[in-house]
Amino acid sequence: MVVYNVIPIHSLEKVFPDGDPASMRIDTVTGLAGETVSFQLAYRVEDMVDAGAAKVAKGMDGHSSGRVCGDDERPTLAESAVNDTCVNQFVTRVTVSGLLSAHAHVRAVRLVHADFVAYPGTIDGAYISDRSGSYPDLLQDTDGWVAFMPGQWRSLWVDVELPAIEETDEEMEERTSALEFAFTRRDGAEVARASVEIHRIPAQLPELTLQHTEWLHADCLAQWYGVPVWSDEHWTIVERFVRAAVKRGVTMIYTPLFTPPLDTVVGGERLTTQLIGVTRKRGVWSFDFARLERWVAMCRAAGVRQFEMSHLFTQWGAAHCPKVIARVDGVERKLFGWSASATDPADGYPDFLAAFLPELDRELRRLGIAGDTVFHVSDEPVSDNLDSYLAAKAVVMPYLKDYRIMDAVSHVEFYESSACEHPIPADDAIEPFVRAGVKGLWTYYCCAQTTDVPNRFMAMPSYRNRILGFLLYVYDLAGFLHWGLNFYNSQYSMRPINPYTEAGTPEGFAAGDAFLLYPGPKGVPEESVRIMVLEEAMNDLRACRLLESLAGRDRVLTLLRDGLDHPLTFADYPHDAQWLLARRAAINDAIHALSDHALRVTA
């Protein structure tokens, strides 16, 4: 005799085979109209004897988390069945019923092996582990099939897309409804059932006003899927990844004017992915913007609101040029790259930019996106690069006066010297920029933000990912940047990686840093736990903005600081998923009360 255990739990618990999700049990999930809310169903099959003993030891009531196969008599140890049964006998099919069942999406949370999960000597106490192993991260559709594992916990990820106010029919006026999950064996016998109440607050989740970019790497998609760059197959795949990013809160897309000069070993190069056609004939430059026009149309159709042009100079100092492929007097060749100086007129790059940037400006205006476009000089320059950064910026400034030039810069002297008027500091270096009063400040994190501050490594608990939303609100930031939506290379692009088997590489990136989306079969992206939790963070921010519009910023800050004896900062926040969930519940309750009051007054 066996027990099929199914326990609804919140979204911030990472379920490991030997974990104990019972203490994370939930009964209700609450969200705003138009919000995607998520939770999990932890499941395993176990001996009835073991299950009974566990309930006694933990004081569980045992009334409905699973259903026993067979009669209700407690078996003896000799009757234990799990270990004597072929594991494929525990395959079930899950079906969902209830008013919101058509809005629910169920996926399996898969374990992903990671050899490299943390940087030795640079971790804090808020990691799940610093050791290689398998971490729950990949979300995969299973067409409803669920394989219970004897004595090992797994989980299903459930998203519910709550209907927006304008989409609501009369049935949805009922604010709370149950989702029922039934698990049946192949022979049709029901073996487990779970239920979660879904509470929809009748107030619309507002649009995300934060500018949010996760860098899309078009070359990695062509490389993984083995399709020619900018072939129809490549365009189709890129569009799917763009749409997946926008669905989860990305508003701005990294646009490869030329092959991005990012994460490339000095002297090496990445697969060419430039959108701009370049020709020089008898010393005269001309540019083909057809691919850029197609890119902009595709992104706009997918819901992209802002565009960031790829970096005009190399990473970490702006000393050299991006790779530029051009047709020169009828012959295609690499015109610029590591061998060319960024600013020496003898190497020709300043003259090239003098011809190109005015033409690009005209094209961006023609396409209607000039006001929603930002430019980059060089990624992550440090103090020693200040002079080279200034020299490179001086080359482009005459042509980009009407655009924001933004860069990931964590040394405040770049701002104080006016080298970078729109700096984007890392979240562990943000305080000097806050004190300097930078207007429209953004932040970012990457592989270097390993202690204290938020990040999304697989080895970190999910609350450390989700706390970002509240912190973005507290600091009243204008944007968030991350470099890795889908980077499937080792550091410096020395070699391609398989993200399904090598989520972190000893060459430089801890698991979870380089990508949020997996390259699924047939060019369809597969999501991660981390991108779903990041969406929850952005939804927390949106909920805070809604409450601010109803009750003022001070009311929101009071709720976020309730019970704390210190300010909420990027380096100091509660390391507690339950605290975070309770703060969002308080925000929801305040919105609900104010919305109900407004409805009563209107009536």
- For residue 316, the domain's CATH number is 3.20.20
Based on the structure, what is the number of domains in the chain? 2
> Is residue 591, in this structure, part of any structural domain at all?
no
CB atoms under 10 Å from CB of 4, counted, come to 24
Residues 123 and 247 in one domain: no
SS3 of 32-97: the string is EECCEEEEEEEEEEEEHHHHHHHHHHHCCCCCCCEEECCCCCCCCHHHCCHHHCCHHHHEEEEEEE
Do residues 271 and 259 lie in contact, with contact meaning Cβ atoms separated by under 8 Å? yes
Residues 336 and 361 in one domain: yes
d(CA 289, CA 308): 16
Question: Is the backbone of residue 590 left (phi > 0), alpha (psi -120 to 50) or beta?
Answer: alpha
Residues 384 and 498 in one domain: yes
d(CA 159, CA 38): 4
Residues 186 and 261 in one domain: no
Last residue of a domain, one of 183, 204, 225: 204
> Is residue 586, in this structure, part of any structural domain at all?
no
> Is residue 563, in this structure, part of any structural domain at all?
no
Residues 328 and 255 in one domain: yes
Q: At what angle do helices 529-551 and 463-474 cross, to 10 degrees?
A: 30
d(CA 113, CA 111): 7
CB atoms under 10 Å from CB of 595, counted, come to 18
> Is residue 600, in this structure, part of any structural domain at all?
no
3-state secondary structure of 4: strand
Q: How many CA atoms lie within 13 A of 571 on its CB side?
A: 8
pLDDT along the chain (603 residues), means of 10: 94 97 95 98 84 46 38 37 69 97 98 95 95 97 95 97 76 77 96 98 97 98 98 98 98 98 96 98 97 98 98 97 97 96 97 98 98 98 97 98 98 97 98 98 97 98 98 98 97 96 90 98 98 99 98 98 95 97 98 77 46
pLDDT at 507: 82
d(CA 117, CA 130): 6
CB atoms under 10 Å from CB of 182, counted, come to 18
What's the angle, vertex CA 518, arms to CA 515 and CA 522, rounded to 5? 145
Residues 508 and 525 in one domain: yes
Evaluated on CA atoms 554, 434, 583, 101, the torsion sign reads positive
pLDDT at 76: 36
pLDDT at 383: 96
Residues 394 and 269 in one domain: yes
Last residue of a domain, one of 177, 204, 231: 204
pTM, two decimals, is 0.94
Nearest residue to 321 (alpha-carbon basis) of 293, 356, 290: 356
Residues 137 and 226 in one domain: no
Residues 161 and 244 in one domain: no
Where is 296: in which H helix or E strand?
helix 290-302
d(CA 201, CA 584): 13
User: Which structure tokens are listed for 570?
Assistant: 């990027």
Tell me phi and psi for residue 263, to 5 degrees: 45, 50
Tell me phi and psi for residue 125, to 5 degrees: -80, -5
Last residue of a domain, one of 204, 229, 259: 204
End-to-end Cα distance, the chain? 58
User: Which structure tokens are listed for 443?
Assistant: 């932040």
Tell me phi and psi for residue 550, to 5 degrees: -95, -35
Do residues 325 and 278 lie in contact, with contact meaning Cβ atoms separated by under 8 Å? yes
Would you say how long the chain is, in residues?
Answer: 603
Nearest residue to 405 (alpha-carbon basis) of 318, 275, 292, 289: 318
d(CA 394, CA 72): 80
In 275-401, at which residue ranges do the beta strands (DSSP E only) sit?
Answer: 277-281, 284-288, 306-309, 324-328, 331-336, 373-375
Q: Which residues contact 272 (CB under 8 A, 6 or more apart)?
A: 219, 229, 259, 323, 325
3-state secondary structure of 508: coil
Residues 155 and 270 in one domain: no
CB atoms under 10 Å from CB of 133, counted, come to 16
pLDDT at 596: 74
Residues 323 and 433 in one domain: yes
Residues 257 and 172 in one domain: no
List the beta bridge partners of residue 306.
252
> Is residue 557, in this structure, part of any structural domain at all?
no
> Is residue 383, in this structure, part of any structural domain at all?
yes
User: Which structure tokens are listed for 289?
Assistant: 């913007």
> Is residue 504, in this structure, part of any structural domain at all?
yes
> Is residue 416, in this structure, part of any structural domain at all?
yes
Give one DSSP letter per residue of 115-136, joined into a string: S--S-TT---S--S-SS-EEEE
Range of the domain at 189: 2-204
List the beta bridge partners of residue 113.
134
Do residues 347 and 340 lie in contact, with contact meaning Cβ atoms separated by under 8 Å? yes
Strands 36-47 and 211-214: unpaired
- For residue 113, the domain's CATH number is 2.60.40.10
List the beta bridge partners of residue 214.
482
d(CA 48, CA 54): 10
SS3 of 428-464: the string is CCCHHHHHCCCCCCEEECCCCCCCCCCCCCCCCCCHH
